[in-house]
Amino acid sequence: MSFDLQNVSRRGALKTLGVASGLVIAAPIVAKGVRAEAMGTAGKLVSTAYLTIAENGDAHIFIHRVEMGQGSRTGLPQVVADELEADWGRLVFEPAFGDRKFGDQNTDGSTSIRRFYDAFRHAGAAARQMLEQAAASHWGVAPSDVEAKNHRIHNKVTGASEDFAAFVKAASKLEVPAADDVKLKSRPQWRYIGKPVRNIYMKDIITGSSQFGQDVRKEGMLFAVAARPPVVGGTLKSYDKEAAMAVQGVVDVVELPALTLPAIFKPLGGVAVLATNTWSAMKGREALNAQFEGGENADYDTSEYEKTLWASIEGKDTTHLKRGDAGAVIAASDDILSADYFVPHQHHMTMEPPAATAVWEGENLKMWVCCQDPQAVQNSVAPFVGKQPPEIYVEATLLGGAFGRKSKPDFAVEAALLARHAGKPVKMVWTREDDVHHGYFHTVSALRVTAAMDGGKVTAWKQKAAYPSIGGTFNPAANGPGSFELGLGLLDLPFSVENLQVDGGDAKAHARIGWLRSVANIQQVFATGSFVDELAHKAGKNTVDMWMDMIGEDRLINPTDDMPDLIPGDEGKSTYGNYGESLERHPFDTARLKAVLRKVADMAGYGRDMPEGKGMGVCVHRSFSSYVACAIEVEVADGGALKIPRAWMAVDCGVAVNPDRVKSQMEGAVVFALSHALHGEISFEKGAVVQSNFDGYPVCRIDEAPHVETAIIASDRVPGGVGEPGVPPVAPALVNAIFAATGKRIRRLPVRDQLMA
C-alpha cells in the first residue's frame, strides 16, 4: 500500500533533539487509486491504517497513540466513529503496537488530536462513503439516495435499511476515496465529536482489570530489579553476587552494559537481580551491596550549580529575538524594574513507576511497555539486540501517568537484554526510588526580566534565561537553551511592546534533562506571568489591564519577523517552532489570548474586594496551539499557612472533541502545576539525586487541591493541544495571588515554607 506521507515540519531546531529527529510525519492519508482490498485481508474494509470494518460490520479502530490519562484513546475513536456513523457499541479497540505505517506515534507534545483529527475524520468518512456507494449499487439507486446512520445504511427511496455488515464485502472492492473526494459531516450532524463520551477503559479501571506496564504477566516470567549508578555516566565497581543469590527466590544476577554518554534513551548500566517475584528481586538487590564509581558528573551539586546559572545570567548574551533596542531604552529610562526568578529541577513522579516486559520466542522479540512511543522503544532496543526496529513487536500498555518520562524507554532496553540472557520472559520493575533517582528531570533555570516603563506603559522588555538544554541528553555540545525551548513561551511573547529582546545564557547539563508536561513553558511563563504582575503593581494597574495593554491590538503574531539572522552555536539562525505546526494552520492570534483572559476574569470575579489575607492572581498563555487563562484564589493565615480554595480556567483549544476530558485535563493541570510550584524540587549532591520517594518529593494531596471551574470557549477552529497547555499559567497565577494576599513576592519555586513566619 502506498501512503502520502506529508512532511509537515522539518525544523532545524528539532535536530538538536537527536533521537526526536527532524522529521515530523503527519498522519498517513491514502493516496488516490488504492483499492481497499489491497490494504488488508480480503472481505474486510480497510479505509486507512486506523480503521478496518470486519465482515460482521464491527469497526476495528487502531488507536496508534497511547493513553496516559489525557484521553486520546477515547477522543480519537469519537472522531472516527462520528464520521463513520458508527454505533459506539460496535467499536473494537485494537492495541497500540508500534508500526511506522501509523505515522508518528510519539504521544507527547499534546499532539494526538491536533495532528490526527483530520486523518481520523478521513478514515471514518472514507469508509462510510464506500459503504454507501456499495449499498447504492446493490439497491440500484443513486448514491445520494442512501444514507449511513448509526451503523446502518438507509435507502431513502424504498425505506429499506441494512446493517453495515451487508455491504462490507462489496465496499472492500471499491477504491478508497482520496482526501479531496471525502465528504466530511458538518458540525450539526456530529454525534460523538463535542460530546462528553465516557473513558473507554472505565469499567476496567474501577474493577481493577486494566493492564498497565507494571501489571503485565507472561507464562514463566521472572521479575527484575536493578542497582544503577547514582551518577549519570558512573560505572559499577563491585557487588556481592553470592549474597544476592542466597536470597530466597533469586534466580540470577546479571550485569547491564555501562552507559556511554550521551545518555539518549540508553540504559544506565549497573547490575540486575532476577527473581521469581518482585519482592525477592528487591531483597536480592539490597544484598548485592553494589558500589559505583562517579564518572564525569560526580561533582554535580545543585546548590553550587545555581551560582553557575546566575553567573551565566550576568555573562554573555546569545540573542534569539530582537525587536527595536530594549537594552538602549532600558539604559536611558528612569522607570525600570528588574526581577530574577529561579525554578529547580522537577520530576514527573508518575503514579506508575516505569516497567517493561520482554519475551523472546527464538529470535523474535516481543515487548509490552508503558511507553509513550512504541516506535521509540523499537528504535532504542534494536541496536542493543542486533535487530532492525520494525522486527521488534512493541505493544504500549496503559500508562499510569507519563508526563514525558515514559517517552524515554531506557527501562525497556534493560528488559530486552535481561530476557535474552535469562531465556525466559522478564518484567523489568522500577521501584519508586529508582524512578526518582534515575529520572529525566525537568531542567534547572535562572531567569531575569528587565523592563522600562513610560507613564505606566511598557516601552522595553528584556528577558534572559539560563538553563541546561534537553539537547544535552542527546548532544554533549548543547550549552544553554535552544531555540526549540525558548520557543515555548519566550520567542512568542505576545507583547506589542516596541522594544523586545530574548536572550539565552550558557549552561551545561550534568544530569539527564528531559521534557516534563509543558516543558520550558514551566519556568519561562513563571517568570513572564510573575513579572507582568510586578509591572502592574508598580504602574498601579490591575494585572488583567496590564496584560491587555501589553498584548495590544488583535493581530496574528509571527515571531520570526524579530529573529536575528545569526545566532552562534544555534545552527546559524534562531527559529520559531510553533509546536511543530505551521503558522497558517495554527496562527498565534492575540484576540483568542485576550478572550480567555477576559473570560477567566469574569468567572473569577477578578477585581472584587477580598478580605485581609485573601488574594487573587491571574495569568494567560498560549501553548501547544491552545490558549489558557488561569485565576487562583488563596488564603494565607497569620503564621503563613496557605490555602487554595478555588481556581478558574478558561481554555480555547479550537474544537473540543471531548469537552468533559478537556475540563478534567484543566483540573489535573492545576493540581499538577501546584504540586511543583508548592513542593517540587529535585536536588543533586555529588552527582546523585537526594530525594527518593513521596516523602522527599511531595505532591499535592486531596486537601491541597482547589475546586477548579473550567470554561471552554466555543470554537470551530482546528483542535489545539489539551494535555499540557493548562500547566504554564498556574504557577504564576499562584504566586501573584500570594502577593495580592500578603505583599510577599515569591520569585523562587517551590513556595514550600517561604510564607512561614
| CB of residue 286 to another protein, shortest distance in Å | 12
Closest CB 721 distance from another protein, rounded Å: 16
682 to 711, contacts with another protein by CB under 8 A? 693-695, 699-703, 705-708
Contact 284, 244 (CB under 8 A): yes
Name the one range near another protein by CB under 8 A: 96-104, 204-212, 551-559, 570-578: 204-212
* 453: phi then psi, degrees, rounded to nearest 5: -125, 155
Q: Which residues of 170-180 are buried (b: 16+ CB within 10 A; e: fewer)?
A: bbbebbbbbee
C-alpha distances in Å from residue 692, one per residue of 43, 280, 566, 698, 704: 55, 20, 44, 10, 22
For another protein, the binding residue among 336, 660, 690, 713 (CB under 8 A) is 660
219 binds another protein (CB under 8 A): no
Q: How many CB atoms lie within 10 A of CB 301?
A: 16
* 8-state DSSP, 261: S
Candidate list 399, 593, 656, 711; residue touching another protein; CB under 8 A: 399
In the complex with another protein, the residue whose CB is nearer, 211 or 235, is 211
Minimal CA–CA distance to 300: which of 512, 128, 122, 110? 512
Residue nearer to another protein on the CB measure, 203 or 316: 203
Toward another protein, which CB reaches closer, 160 or 206? 206
**SS3 at position 164:** helix
Q: Which of 168, 253, 398, 551 binds another protein (CB under 8 A)?
A: 398
| DSSP 3-state of 211 | coil
By beta-carbon proximity to another protein, the closer residue of 213 and 374 is 213
Please report whether residue 350 would count as binding another protein according to CB under 8 A: yes
For another protein, the closer of residues 509 and 604 by Cβ is 604
214 makes contact with another protein (CB under 8 A): yes
Task: State how far the Cα of 516 lies from the Cα of 6, in Å rounded to an integer.
Answer: 28
Q: Which stretch binds another protein (CB under 8 A): 65-73, 250-258, 534-542, 616-624?
A: 65-73
Q: How far is the CB of 88 from another protein (least distance, A)?
A: 14
Q: Which one among 42, 92, 205, 332 touches another protein, defined by CB under 8 A?
A: 205
How many Å from the N-terminal Cα to the C-terminal Cα in the chain?
Answer: 69
CB of 429 to another protein, least distance (A): 8
Least Cβ distance, residue 682 to another protein (angstroms): 16
Question: 259 with 268: CB under 8 angstroms?
Answer: yes
Q: How many residues does the chain have?
A: 757
Instruction: Please say whether the dihedral angle defined by the alpha carbons of residues 655, 661, 665 and 667, taken in this order, is positive or negative.
Output: positive
Kind and range of the H or E run holding 202: helix 202-207
* Residue of 290, 497, 657, 670 that binds another protein (CB under 8 A): 670
Q: How many residues bind another protein (CB under 8 A)?
A: 68
Identity of the residue, 279 or 393, whose beta carbon is nearer to another protein in the bound complex: 279
266: cell is 540508553
Out of 664, 715, 736, 742, the only residue in the binding site for another protein (CB under 8 A) is 664
* 426-429 β-sheet, strand order: 96-97, 393-396, 364-369, 355-361, 426-429, 222-227, 270-275, 250-256
Rounded Cα gap, residues 294 and 130, in angstroms: 63
Q: Give the helix/strand (H/E) hosting 285.
A: helix 278-288
Q: Which residues of 52-61 are buried (b: 16+ CB within 10 A; e: fewer)?
A: bbbeebbbbb
**Site for another protein contains 681 (CB under 8 A):** no
Of 307-315, 361-369, 427-435, 478-486, which segment contacts another protein by CB under 8 A? 427-435
Strand intervals (E) in 248-371: 250-256, 270-275, 291-293, 318-323, 336-343, 355-361, 364-369
Neighbours of 757 (CB within 10 A): 7
Q: Mask of contacts with another protein, 225-264, x by CB under 8 A? A: -----------------------x----------------
Asked if residue 340 lies in contact with residue 722, where contact means CB atoms within 8 angstroms, the answer is no
Read off φ and ψ for residue 396, nearest 5 degrees: -85, 120
Is there binding between residue 514 and another protein (CB under 8 A)? no
Binding span for another protein by CB under 8 A among 10-18, 192-200, 238-246, 544-552: 192-200
As measured in angstroms, the least distance from the Cβ of 210 to another protein is: 6
Q: Is 463 in the site for another protein (CB under 8 A)?
A: no
Stretch of residues binding another protein (CB under 8 A), selected from 107-115, 143-151, 207-215, 595-603: 207-215
549-568 mask for another protein (x: CB under 8 A)? --------------------
Q: Which is nearer to another protein, 203 or 744 (CB)?
A: 203
What is the SS3 assignment for 475?
Answer: coil
- Verify binding: residue 212, another protein, rule CB under 8 A: yes
Tell me the three cell numbers of residue 265.
534513551
Binding site for another protein (CB under 8 A): 67-71, 196, 198-199, 201-212, 214-215, 217, 223, 248, 276-279, 282, 349-353, 398-403, 429, 431-433, 660-661, 664-665, 667-672, 675, 693-695, 699-703, 705-708
